Amino acid sequence: MSLIVQKFGGTSVADREHVFNVAEIITKTYAKGNSVVAVVSAQGDTTDDLLEKAREINADPSKREMDVLLTAGEQMSASLLAMAIEKLGYPVVSLLGWQAGFVTSSDYGKARIKRVEPERIQKELDKKHIVILAGFQGINKYDDVTTLGRGGSDTSAVAVAVAMKADLCQIYTDVDGVYTADPRKVKHARKLDVISYDEMLELASLGAQVLNNRSVEIAKEYGVELEVLSSMTKKPGTIVKEAGKVEKLFISGVAKDEDVARISIIGVPDRPGLAFKVFSRISAKNINVDIILQSVGRNGTKDISFTVARSNLKDALETIDSFLPSIGATKLVYDENVAKISIVGAGMETHPGTATKMFEALYEKDINIKMISTSEIKISVLIDIKDADKAVSAIHDKFFPAD
């Protein structure tokens, strides 16, 4: 007998039919003799509807009150799912964040789970109840309700799996697993049976947003095995686990990230400390810098280029503008029409020539590389955004030739 945590997103419980589909997945798992804790998001568009209701009244409400409003969404879906399970004749109880012991930090709207106090959930499991948890929510030290931010229900699921020492944490979503590339864009994309936490994290951070990153980080830290699968197809999905337990794939996936912009500071005097000055000021504004490239310029100067998320571009430019004269640089330029294409694979380091093979694929399609960055399990290139989809297909077909 195992303890299985199952998480269902908003699409999976959007209406009556979907709610019963999920209720069947849960009760079938329970009927096999497992203990089941199911974490559920708000139904379909509920969260957006509530945001709109709030906006009509106050365009800038306090985050505290917004959390009180939004947590009602998961409260409704959790109780409705429990009612569906009652209808199927199984013992069930729904629990809200504060009832289930989800203690979080106090940052309303983006709280972090500090711990899950497992007593109440354990008590219900001991009574042979199926436990339905309202995801995305918790309680802070002031006894106020908090939300975990976007993708928070994934984190709820993994956190409860950690606290209850679950044997498996299944994340049901609208795709049936993790693919070697976006299957809507790349014809020969293959579903992976298994992937390591680190590869999953790299893929997620590259825009292949199947799992919330924070939830993968927690799963990795505590060694909780995840499975990404579809609530509709009822086929096995992709298992995410420790690298040591995963056969090292040469390449696990090709991903595209279009939320990226390049900034170049031209004519920086070639003096020590200036790069530090630039990046410390930018990070002080909470802006993440990704690929960095420093090139030799003319007349004893250098050019510093780097990428940021497109949403941070304006902030980053303003910040740099404010100290540009003080470092003696001559010009600030930027480019929004770029995309980052990456290959990820835990086996990469033991296969020389991986980068060459990637660059060859791009060369064959006449695609120009603007920047390059590499890590142990990832190679990223910055290219023109108009070439992005073509580049993903070319690279994917090079590493995963059609059978």
**Residue-wise DSSP of 46-110:** HHHHHHHHHHHH-SS--HHHHHHHHHHHHHHHHHHHHHHHHHTT--EEEE-TTTTTEEE-S-TTS
CB of 53 to a copy of itself, least distance (A): 6
For residues 53 and 235, which CB has a smaller minimum distance to a copy of itself in the complex? 53
Residue whose CB is less far from a copy of itself, 13 or 388:
13
Taking the C-alpha atoms of residue 119 and residue 116, their distance in angstroms, rounded to an integer, is: 9
Extract the tokens encoding 181. 């590339």
Distance CA 321, CA 309 (A): 18
Sign of CA dihedral 64, 68, 69, 72: positive
| CB 383, CB 369: distance < 8 Å | yes
Query: Exactly one of 11, 34, 75, 105 binds a copy of itself (CB under 8 A); which one?
Result: 75
Among 1, 33, 56, 276, binds a copy of itself (CB under 8 A): 56
Taking CB under 8 A as the criterion, the residue among 57, 284, 296, 402 binding a copy of itself is 57
CB atoms near residue 167 (< 10 Å)? 15
Which of 5, 39, 82, 210 binds a copy of itself (CB under 8 A)? It is 82
C-beta of 91 vs 300, nearer to a copy of itself: 91
Query: Which is closer to a copy of itself, CB of 20 or CB of 279?
Result: 20
How far, in Å, are 282, 295, 385 from residue 339 at the CA level? 21, 21, 5
At 296, which helix (H) or strand (E)? strand 289-296
Integer angstrom CA distances of residue 398 from 254, 350, 358, 401: 11, 18, 8, 6
- Is 126 near a copy of itself (CB under 8 A)? no
- Helices marked H in 333-381: 354-364
Stretch that binds a copy of itself, among 4-12, 56-64, 167-175, 215-223 (CB under 8 A): 56-64
**Could you tell me if 10 and 18 are in contact, meaning their C-beta atoms sit under 8 angstroms apart?**
no
Q: Residues 28, 31, 32, 87: which binds a copy of itself (CB under 8 A)?
A: 87
Q: Which residues contact 108 (CB under 8 A, 6 or more apart)?
A: 62, 63, 64, 66, 67, 144, 146, 147
**Nearest residue to 262 (alpha-carbon basis) of 304, 305, 223:** 305
Q: Which residues pair with 89 in a beta bridge?
A: none
> Residue 392: CB partners within 8 Å, gap ≥ 6?
181, 182, 185, 186, 254, 255, 256, 341
Burial of residue 348 (number of CB atoms within 10 Å: 0-12, 13-18, 19+):
buried
Q: Does 45 bind a copy of itself (CB under 8 A)?
A: no
Residues within window 2-31 making contact with a copy of itself, judged by CB under 8 A: 16, 19-20
Interface with a copy of itself, residue 1, by CB under 8 A? no
Query: CA-CA distance, 129 to 263, in Å (whole number)?
Result: 55
Contact flag: residue 120 with a copy of itself (CB under 8 A): yes
63 touching a copy of itself, by CB under 8 A: no
Question: By CB under 8 A, is residue 83 in contact with a copy of itself?
Answer: yes
Which of the ranges 55-63, 158-166, 262-270, 275-283 carries the binding residues for a copy of itself, by CB under 8 A? 55-63
Tell me: does residue 330 bind a copy of itself (CB under 8 A): no
Nearer Cβ to a copy of itself (145/226): 145
Closest distance to a copy of itself from the beta carbon of 40 (Å): 12
Does 103 sit near a copy of itself (CB under 8 A)?
A: no
CB of 79 to a copy of itself, least distance (A): 4
Which of residues 5, 37, 66, 195 is near a copy of itself by CB under 8 A? Answer: 66
Q: How many residues bind a copy of itself, per CB under 8 A?
A: 37
Which residue of 4, 26, 39, 96 would you call a contact of a copy of itself, by CB under 8 A?
96
Considering only 12, 35, 71, 312, the residue that binds a copy of itself (CB under 8 A) is 71
- In the bound state with a copy of itself, the residue whose beta carbon lies nearer, of 10 and 267, is 10
Kindly tell me which residue out of 143, 247, 366, 403 binds a copy of itself, with binding defined by CB under 8 A: 143
- Identify the residue among 14, 24, 45, 79 touching a copy of itself (CB under 8 A): 79
Place of tokens 């802070």: 140
* Chain positions contacting a copy of itself, by CB under 8 A: 16, 19-20, 50, 53-54, 56-58, 61-62, 64-66, 68-69, 71-72, 75-76, 78-80, 82-84, 86-87, 93-94, 96, 98-99, 120, 143-145
